[in-house]
Structure 1
Amino acid sequence: MSIQLAPSALERVQSYLAAEPAKAGLRFGVRKTGCSGWGYVIEMADAVNDADAVFEQAGVKILVDPASLPLVDGTEIDFIKQGLNEQFVFRNPQVKGECGCGESFTTDPDKAL
């Protein structure tokens, strides 16, 4: 099991943590949403939950809840800038399909929550 940050995402998360040193790390997971089923959730975490899977990279903790882990295992999180737009992007090997609007994705049915 693994979650990785690409260099630009690592730099961005490190800057967030430098600005808010009380944060525990980056929380990454999924929630039901959109027309395909799953949408990513990414935010700075206040604490590590007992059940979280914790991945650490260059001092940054990436926290994933146990229900999300099978759906995001192996994901590389990147951060891209295009013109005035900036966003995290996800390279997730579990994705089997995406909706046309790009808001949600599907995975292997037996990994669904």
Structure 2
Amino acid sequence: MFAIPGSVPVTITPAAERQIARLMSGKNAFGLRIGLKKGGCAGMEYTMDLVEAAEPNEEVVEQGDARVLIAPRAQMFLFGTEIDYENGLLESGFRFRNPNVTDACGCGESVRFEPLDGSRAAG
């Protein structure tokens, strides 16, 4: 929907590819849908759900055995994002390196984007 011909809307690191493939295999899922919802102290939160099929107008990114589906309403906000998976001593999880984010909360759970009209988002 918002894709530029010849480029992928999001990139997936090898670590994220392995984890997504592992999750898909464990639940016999078609792919991992990523999106956004209102919430958190910065205004928006990423969503991730294992799904059985793609919905109309979703962008589908396939890499190796991993498949990521991007919900239509999130596509313009996620374009250019790198999806990574990090293992740490205290926590492990997916990380989104999103060039469209203009602010994030201190805990890293929610993000803010510049409004489409170009004005700064109220905080």
Query: Same-fold call, TM > 0.5?
Result: yes
Residue 111 of structure 2 is matched in structure 1 by 105
1:45 aligns with 2:51: yes
Q: Is the 8 A contact 2:21 2:67 kept in 1?
A: no
Q: Which aligned segments of 4 or more residues in structure 1 are displaced greater than 6 angstroms?
A: none
1:16 aligns with 2:23: yes
1:54 aligns with 2:87: no
Any gaps of 5 or more consecutive residues in structure 1? none
TM-score (norm 1): 0.88
Query: 1:84: Cα distance to partner?
Result: 4.4
Query: 1:96: Cα distance to partner?
Result: 0.8
Larger Rg, first or second structure (1 or 2): 2
Query: 1:18: Cα distance to partner?
Result: 2.1
Query: 1:5: Cα distance to partner?
Result: 1.2
What RMSD, in angstroms, separates the aligned Cα atoms of the two structures? 1.5
CA distance in 2, matches of 1:18, 1:96: 35
CA distance in 2, matches of 1:84, 1:101: 14
1:4 aligns with 2:11: yes
TM-score (norm 2): 0.81
**1:109 aligns to what SS in structure 2?**
coil
Residue 84 of structure 2 is matched in structure 1 by 78
CA distance in 2, matches of 1:87, 1:98: 17
Any gaps of 5 or more consecutive residues in structure 2? 4-8, 118-123
Aligned pairs, number: 110
